[in-house]
Amino acid sequence: MLKVMVVFGTRPEAIKMCPLVIELQKREGIKCVVCLTGQHREMLRQVMDVFGIREDYNLDIMKEGQSLSLITVNVMDGFDKVLRKETPDIVLVHGDTTTSFAAALSAFYLRIPVGHVEAGLRTYEMHSPFPEEFNRQAADLVSTLYFAPTKAAKQNLLEEGKPENNIFVTGNTVIDALRYTVNGDYRDACLEWAKDSRMILLTTHRRENLGEPMEHIFRAVRTVAEENADIKVIFPVHKNPEIRKLAEKYLAGEDRIRMIEPLDVMAFHNFMARSYLILTDSGGIQEEAPAMGIPVLVLRDVTERPEGVEAGTLQLVGTEEREIRQSVERLLKDERLYRKMSQSVNPYGDGRASVRIADILVKQIWRR
Ligand code: UD1
Ligand code: UDP
């Protein structure tokens, strides 16, 4: 029996790992053990509930306003104990969070092979996104198997000298997740409120956007809402208290803006599907939106997801108030531009990434 330890700790990792856990649990010959670090608490639980997965371990490390160092030491300390007890054949981490980096390092220290799901994404700018660019490069340094979502990600890994035999282009498991969530009949009171308008969905959370960049974003959104009677903005606000304070300061009191609690992933994907436009600094949303054909203005200066920009669905607008405002206005007024951005192209796979990853694990390629 092959023992596969799957470890994750934040909302986006969970959304992209749960379809894989479900696939691994179906396979005879694989015992799948799930360890949550609990870097997120409520936002992680929401995902587990939607997918109906129960974890075997939860390190429950989250603290309000946690520092990167604290996350790192607590993940490593807790996960090291779990690894020593379970002695898995391989550990799977996902993406670029501090959970992923710290868990991969713990496994490496115990000489347990690491498989990195969503490997090879790069901006090659260590401070953008911060600290994610470090986290993913560091995770790849200690990994044995690389599950690259796209050919471009594989190319990055090859150029860094990673062994080609251990790199697999699988597609992104986020497309697998969409198969569980998007539902044409989905109903919600907030969607009812927005239904007579063009709906703009907003999310922000990046550490490098905290402070002044986020103030710019919020001021731009408020002005757009004040000046356009036919739009409504829905903003599921991240649980980070720093973001909540800023959001309240700049966005409260405008009737065309609704700030709500983070949506569970089923709701969020259906909100996305009904949106006219999405404004976000998120990584995962940059992958989901092209699959749905919803235009996205990316509130960042660089992206590790060039495929969505090439496909035409994503436009990088940075975090300057004027640029954001003008870009939104353009999309509200220029129908041709809007149509061009909403052409549905999906560069991230066919929704079978989990099946491919499970197939590769079954073959135990890292042991050859
Ligand atoms: C983390 C990841 C980031 C990822 C994001 C997804 C790191 C360093 N950052 O950033 O890569 O894009 O998750 O959302 O790994 N909080 C709660 N409840 C929750 C979740 C968060 O109260 O369920 C609050 C806590 O006060 C916490 C703060 O939000 O301290 C920040 O959470 P943290 O995981 O440190 O950073 P994120 O910005 O969420
Ligand atoms: N998401 C969600 N509820 C929300 C906002 C986002 O379920 O209220 C989902 C979204 O569909 C995507 C993921 O969370 O799959 C993105 O997470 P986030 O933006 O927090 O992190 P990132 O992808 O930037 O690491």
Give the per-residue pLDDT at 183.
Answer: 86
* Atom number, ligand 2, closest to the C-alpha of residue 263: 8
Q: How far is ligand 1, taken at its centre, from the CA of residue 65, in Å? A: 9
Per-residue pLDDT of the chain (368 residues; tens, 9 = 90+): 999 999 999 999 999 999 999 999 999 999 999 999 999 999 999 999 999 999 999 999 999 999 999 999 999 999 999 999 999 999 999 999 999 999 999 999 999 999 999 999 999 999 999 999 999 999 999 999 999 999 999 999 999 999 999 999 999 999 999 999 998 889 999 999 999 999 999 999 999 999 999 999 999 999 999 999 999 999 999 999 999 999 999 999 999 999 999 999 999 999 999 999 999 999 999 999 999 999 999 999 999 999 999 999 999 999 999 999 999 999 999 999 999 999 878 999 999 999 999 999 999 988 87
263 Cβ below 6 A of ligand 2: yes
- Which one of 8, 11, 233, 305 would you pick to mutate in the ligand 2 pocket, going by the greatest count of ligand atoms within 8 A of its CB? 11
- For the chain, how big is the Rg over CA atoms in Å? 20
Mutate to test the pocket of ligand 1, among 62, 70, 73, 132 (most ligand atoms within 8 A of CB): 62
Contacts of 312 (CB under 8 A, 6+ apart): 340, 341, 343, 345
C-alpha–C-alpha distance, residues 108 and 90, integer Å: 10
Q: Does domain 2-171+352-362 have CATH number 3.60.15.10?
A: no
> 19 in ligand 2 pocket by Cβ < 6 Å?
no
Ligand 2 closest atom vs CA 96:
25
Ligand 2, closest atom to CA 47? Answer: 7
Rounded Cα–Cα distance for residues 173 and 19 (Å): 7
- For the beta carbon of residue 191, count every other beta carbon within 10 angstroms: 17
What's the CA gap between 12 and 9, in Å, rounded? 9
Token pair belonging to 361: 């694990």
Helices 173-181 & 265-274, crossing angle to 10 degrees? 90
| Tokens encoding 334 | 């220029």
What is the whole-number distance in angstroms between the Cα of residue 230 and the centre of ligand 2?
Answer: 26
- The bound ligand whose nearest atom lies closest to the alpha carbon of 205 is 1
100: its two tokens: 């992923």
Indicate whether residue 132 lines ligand 1 (CB < 6 A): yes
Ligand 1, atom 25, lies closest to the CA of 64
pLDDT for 175 equals 97
- On whether the pTM is more than 0.85, the answer is yes
The ligand with the least distance to the CA atom of 131 is: 1
- The CATH number given to 189-342 is 3.40.50.2000
283 lines ligand 2 (CB under 6 A): yes
Ligand 1 contact via 241 beta carbon (within 6 Å): yes
Q: Which residue is closest in CA terms to ligand 1's atom 20?
A: 40
Q: For 261, what's the count of Cα atoms within 13 Å in the CB-facing half-sphere?
A: 4
Give the start-to-end residue ranges of the domains of the chain.
2-171+352-362, 189-342
Q: How far is the CA of 30 from the centre of ligand 1 (A)?
A: 31
Pocket of ligand 1 contains residue 222 by CB under 6 Å:
no
Q: What are phi and psi of 35, to 5 degrees?
A: -120, 120
40 lines ligand 1 (CB under 6 A): yes
The residues that are catalytic are: 96, 118, 132, 205, 207, 238
- Angle between helix axes 42-51 and 11-26 (nearest 10 degrees) is 30
Q: How far is the CA of 367 from the centre of ligand 2 (A)?
A: 35
Alpha carbon nearest to ligand 2 atom 10, residue? 285
Do 189-342 and 2-171+352-362 fall under one CATH topology?
yes
In short, whether 262's Cβ falls inside 6 Å of ligand 2 is yes
Contacts of 13 (CB under 8 A, 6+ apart): 94, 95, 97, 99, 100
Q: Could you tell me if the CB of 219 is within 6 A of ligand 1? A: no
β-bridge mates for residue 92, sequence order: 6, 115
| CA 34 to ligand 1 center in whole angstroms | 20
Indicate if ligand 1 lies below 6 Å from the C-beta of 37: no
What are the residues whose beta carbons fall under 8 Å from the beta carbon of 90, sequence distance 6 or more?
2, 3, 4, 5, 112, 113, 114, 115, 144, 145, 361, 366
**What's the angle, vertex CA 33, arms to CA 31 and CA 38, rounded to 5?**
165
What gap in Å lies between CA 313 and CA 293, rounded to an integer?
7
Residue indicated by tokens 């044995």: 144
* Torsion region of 87: left, alpha or beta (phi above 0 gives left; psi -120 to 50 gives alpha): left
End-to-end CA distance of the chain: 17
Per-residue pLDDT, 14? 98
